[in-house]
A and B are shown apart, each in its own frame.
Chain A
């Protein structure tokens, strides 16, 4: 018995924040220069009343338009921005999406590795007969955590959601996984306040980085250089392990889709791992870094543009907050 990605849909909120908008507000860089460097021209941002679960709902409804929703056996919801501390947003989504009450649901908290984790869980559910059809929703709204004067993070991150249907098949289309964690890096991408460890602070102290970005401990903090160092250390090893666990070489892979962190970072990784440029997907121009949804969005777009075709072997790799990472090889 095997599992296969059957379909993907994604949803981006209506409101667009362009590089021009950011340049006008901050007057710190040239829009064209930043686009060339990080490969992002604009990102979509939720409205005040919109949440990750709302984005996930919209993506799932697009997908369920062509699927019998009564056949969904499990709903997995990946976010770091749930609607409530409790209950799980997936329970709220089960009702909203009108899925069966015999549908298993749970949330899991992962960021940039979330899609890979979701595929691993979905495959496990299918291979152990817990489900035949798994709906994986990845949804994120980091914009809600970013301090208004934090240009660096406003430039990188966009909001969005993807819905992926994984179904039972006779053959296996989702191959072996490499999953990993290094909690030593947990402070380098964090929202320190607002959960159980540290309370949300009214009138929190405002800190400023060397480059003039501001944040408080109620907000998202990212140590970009440290995250970059983590990726150049962890990702080449993960790719090498993933290839060897699946008895493949780079030559056997038709296409590589990495978490679309930013263009500079993933281009650097591509060169370091010696992946041919024509086999490597890089496109975050209109979305920015949507965290757990970058891989399904990229996969969907690559299929729409025929860069990925039926019969292809694709290596997927996610890495980031935690630190957490994962990779697998799929057949489309």
Chain B
């Protein structure tokens, strides 16, 4: 989450506030898929990311942005291409960041 502080005469600061344990993994999967304009018949730990409808390089970019914004975690393109399931993505972000870790 980016909080821009506008103080006259003072250069704008970017303050990153890391939010932990904000949601369950399935809540995260659903939000990710909605926010990134994707769709999947089944959204669960075992869902294969590359089988999600709409998955392409642009979708990867939007997912990286979503994860950066939500968790302040920057996943590389290489890390993303090595992922298999949604659970493996949650692992990459850090399971401790979810309520149901």
Contact = CB atoms under 8 A, between A and B. Distances in A.
Interface string A223-262: 1111011001100100010011000011100000000000
B37 interface: yes
Interface string B42-86: 000000001000111111111011001000001111101100000
A229 B74 CA distance: 7
Interface string A4-43: 0000000000000000000000001100011001100000
Interface in A51-92: none
A211 B4 contact: no
Contact of B58 (A37, A229, A240, A251): A37
Contact of A33 (B2, B37, B55, B60): B37
Contacts of B61: 224-225, 228, 264-265
A106 B65 CA distance: 39
Interface residues of B, number: 30
Interface residues of A, number: 36
A285 B85 CA distance: 35
Contact of B57 (A209, A244, A251): A209
B6 A251 contact: yes
Given A228-B64, A272-B2, A251 B8 contact: yes
Contact of B74 (A232, A249, A274): A232
A103 interface: no
Contact of B77 (A229, A249, A273): A229
Interface stretch (B9-17, B26-34, B91-99): B9-17
A213 interface: yes
A249 B65 contact: no
Given A38-B58, A226-B77, A264-B65, A272 B14 contact: yes
A97 B26 CA distance: 62
A211 B14 contact: no
A278 interface: no
Given A225-B60, A229-B75, 20 more contacts: A28-B56, A33-B37, A37-B37, A37-B62, A188-B77, A210-B55, A210-B81, A223-B77, A224-B57, A224-B61, A226-B76, A228-B61, A229-B76, A232-B65, A232-B74, A251-B6, A264-B62, A265-B61, A272-B14, A273-B14
